Structures are given as C-alpha cells and as structure tokens.
Amino acid sequence: MEYILAPWRKNYVKNVSKMKGCIFCKALEMENDRQAYILYRGKYNFILLNRYPYTSGHLMIAPHKHSSSLDQAEKESTYEFIDLLKLCLQILKQKFDPQGFNTGMNIGQSAGAGIPDHYHIHVIPRWTGDSNFLPLVSQTKVIMQDLNQTYDQLYPLFQKSV
C-alpha cells in the first residue's frame, strides 16, 4: 500500500476554529515576506501563497485594509485588486502552464468564508486530472510542490513585473 502525506493540511483542519486574529493582517505585520509567503505588496493589496493550498501555486489576494466589505472598498483599491488578479493569472500561466483556473471569493461566513472579516480572492491553477478520489475517500490532497519551492519560483516573477 502506498501512503501519500499532506501533513500541513491536518494543522489547518484541526485548528481553524481556534485561530485568533486575522491571518492577512498578521502576514502584513511580518517583516520577512518569505516567512509570510508574501509574493508582492501593492499600494492597496498584496499577493501571498495559501499555506494550505488546494494545488501548487494556490495564491490569494487581499487588501492591506482589514475589511469584510469589497463593495465598500475605494475604487483605486478594487482596480488594483483586479489588476493583481490578472497578474497572478499571467505569472501562473507562465510558470506552471495550467489548463485552467478557479478564482473565487466567499464573502461572509454563511457563504463559506474561512476568514470572513478580511475579504480576499483565491487564485487556483488547475490541470485536467488534478482532482481524484483521494479528497473524497481519505480527506487527503496531493500537492506536487513544497511551499518554499513554489515561493522561490514565483517571487522573482512578481518582482520583475513591477
């Protein structure tokens, strides 16, 4: 029998209800972008790796300002937010050659937001066949690349894009 480990996911599942504070605000407060997995800091928003990715290259974009309300955000912030989404798509296409993407926002706890007080969008590269029975049967997802490797590959591309 073959065993596939995804130990980082267990931490999240076990502790999500116990987490205190906002993960996005905590990431912004960290001085070391690598430790925070921040790939890019814009004027109003920033891009970071998801610590508990669905696939390799799973990114998130969030505003600097702690807010649950996209509809109340300043125009400049929402314009940059969408521009950063476009940038993520371009860089992920260049580096990982995905066959598609899932992008999405869950706004509010009833809509499934894990962090309902700080809106954000997920950018998830997808490949035909990357979904299989493992998440359904064993609650295990296979991620092809370590977060540090992903960071090392993507960080220079985001820095060049400025």
Residue 37 is predicted with a pLDDT of 98
Supply the pLDDT for residue 145.
75
Q: In the prediction, which pLDDT does 15 show?
A: 55
Q: Cα–Cα–Cα angle for 92, 93, 96, nearest 5°? A: 70
144: domain range? 22-160
Q: Are 70 and 105 in contact (CB under 8 A)?
A: yes
Of 68, 69, 70, 66, residue with least CA distance to 85? 70
- Identify the pLDDT of residue 7: 56
Cα–Cα distance for residue pair 37/27, rounded to 1 Å: 8
- Contact in structure between 12 and 51 (CB atoms under 8 Å): yes
1, part of any domain: no
Report if residue 54 sits inside a domain: yes
Any domain includes 8: no
Residue 155, domain member (yes or no): yes
Structure tokens given for 104:
């999405």
Model pLDDT, residue 36? 98
Q: Which long-range contacts (CB under 8 A, 24 or more apart) does 93-97 make?
A: 94/157, 95/57, 95/153, 95/154, 95/157, 96/56, 96/57, 96/125
- The reply to whether 38 falls in a domain is yes
- pTM, two decimals, is 0.82
Number of domains in the chain: 1
Q: Has residue 37 been placed in a domain?
A: yes
pLDDT by 10s per residue, the chain, length 162: 444 455 555 555 455 455 678 999 999 999 999 999 999 999 999 999 999 888 889 999 999 999 999 999 999 999 999 999 999 999 999 999 999 999 999 998 898 888 899 999 999 999 887 764 444 334 445 556 789 999 999 999 999 987
How many whole angstroms separate alpha carbon 13 and alpha carbon 135? 13
Q: What are the helix (H) ranges across the chain?
A: 7-15, 23-29, 33-36, 75-96, 134-138, 147-160
Residue 31 domain-assigned? yes
* The pair of three-digit structure tokens given for residue 102, joined into one six-digit string: 């899932």
Name residues whose C-beta falls within 8 Å of residue 56's C-beta, 6 or more positions apart in sequence. Answer: 96, 125, 143, 144, 145, 150
Q: Is residue 4 part of a domain?
A: no
Per-residue confidence (pLDDT) for residue 10, from 0 to 100: 58
> Domain of 143: which CATH number?
3.30.428.10
